[in-house]
Amino acid sequence: MGIIHLAPTGRSPGAVTAPLAHLEHVFAEQQDNGQRLEKSVLPRRLGYPVEAIVLFVSDPMRRAYKGHAAYETIYNKYGSREAIHVYPKERHSVNDIVADFVEKALRDAHKTTLYVRQVNVNDFNDCFRVIAETVLALGRPDDLGKTLWANLTGGTNILNAALLEVTFLSGLISNLYYIFTDGDDRKYLQPVTTDYRRFVDNHWRDVPLVKTNFDERYRHLLFFLAAEDKWWETAQLFYALQSQFPEAFQLMQLELFQKQWLRKMGRDLDWELAENNQETGRVRLTEAGYQTIGRLEGNLFQTLVQRGDAPLIDIQALRDKLDTDKIDL
């Protein structure tokens, strides 16, 4: 089995296809030169064979509405700008062009599956939900899941922010990458150089991936404030937390608590103001804070962060839902 590539998608299909064509080229060159690695190592190291591609697109992009269809795109001969087929601007959806590419370039030796997942690309919560469901369906925290790579080149900033958050919370994505493309070369579906080392040096960038843990002090603070909807003196709040959660707060100093926790809570926390608009030193949870707690208590979030534990949602139901977005090639 191969690698599944997740790809937030904009209007340039080459942002998805060029890195995959590069990986296929490197794989083929190693095979041709006899530089074979162990089968269990090669796909994870090279990101190839491509078992599946998951595109995250908006509804207007999926339907190729005016202003949302693909830019002019050229299916080129690998390593050159020679056109094999031209897709005029505003005539095709990005997902249709990627599907054509999969059929023509990636399905000879390996069967590649394509999924197109619709998402509101300007709504972080919807982006997070769809990506999280996809990662859980494929990565399977309860079992031996698929190997997932994520391409950060295309899509909106919000969509990629959600992908990064899911990556760091879940630990289920093995590799993050993006590519740079020079000016007009964005329209090509494949790299315009056959020198894969040059492509890596000039265009390919891996994003360092460090596993993270959720901040339990932050969780304790949120839920403690939510338990009593009132204004708290910061010192009183600190000592109450020390008493209730000694393992988390006992060794902390009040000044550090104020600077590194309360001041960093942003829109989750409200600071009371006196008539002269000066802070009184009292705090309480905001509506945004209660919304954050709602996210933290949700089964989707809990399943993401509790890796190795029995999932709190039906993973098979997520896989069935994903299958409805499979594209027939």
pLDDT confidence of residue 8: 96
- List the domain boundaries for the chain: 3-211+320-327, 216-296
Helix (H, G, I), strand (E, B) or coil at 274: coil
Is 36's pLDDT higher than 90? no
- Confidence band, pLDDT 50/70/90 cuts, at residue 1: low
Q: How confident is the model at residue 200 (pLDDT cuts 50, 70, 90)?
A: confident
Considering only residues 111 and 47, tell me which one the structure prediction assigns the higher pLDDT. Answer: 111
Give bridge partners of residue 188 from the DSSP assignment.
74
Measure the CA–CA gap between 4 and 167, rounded to whole angstroms. Answer: 14
Reported as a single tens digit per residue, the pLDDT across 96-107 is: 999 999 988 876
Looking only at the bridges linking them, the beta strands covering 73-76 and 83-87 are antiparallel
> H or E segment at 123?
none
Helices (H), 150-270: 157-170, 196-202, 216-227, 234-244, 246-249, 254-257
pLDDT of residue 329: 76
Residue 308 has pLDDT above 80, yes or no: no
Q: Where do runs of H (alpha helix) occur along 216-314?
A: 216-227, 234-244, 246-249, 254-257, 287-297, 299-305
Cβ(3)–Cβ(20) under 8 Å?
no
> pLDDT for 246-272, tens place per residue?
999 999 999 999 999 999 999 999 999
Alpha-carbon gap, residue 199 to 203, rounded angstroms: 5
Counts of helices then strands in the chain (DSSP H, E): 14, 12
Does the domain spanning 216-296 belong to CATH 1.10.10?
Answer: yes
Distance between CA atoms of residues 108 and 276, nearest Å: 72
CATH 3.40.50.10770 matches 3-211+320-327: yes
pLDDT (tens digit per residue) in 142-189: 666 788 999 999 999 999 999 999 999 998 999 999 998 888 899 999
Residue 37 has pLDDT above 70, yes or no: no
Please determine, for residue 38, whether its predicted confidence score (pLDDT) is greater than 50: no
pTM: 0.90
Contacts 24+ apart (CB under 8 A), 278-285: 281/233, 281/234, 282/231, 282/232, 282/233, 282/234, 283/225, 283/231, 283/232, 283/234, 283/237, 284/225, 284/229, 284/230, 284/231, 284/232, 285/222, 285/225, 285/226, 285/229
Mean of the pLDDT values across residues 6-10?
96
Nearest to 15 by CA among 135, 177, 138: 177
Supply the angle between the helices 287-297 and 216-227 in degrees, to the nearest 10: 120
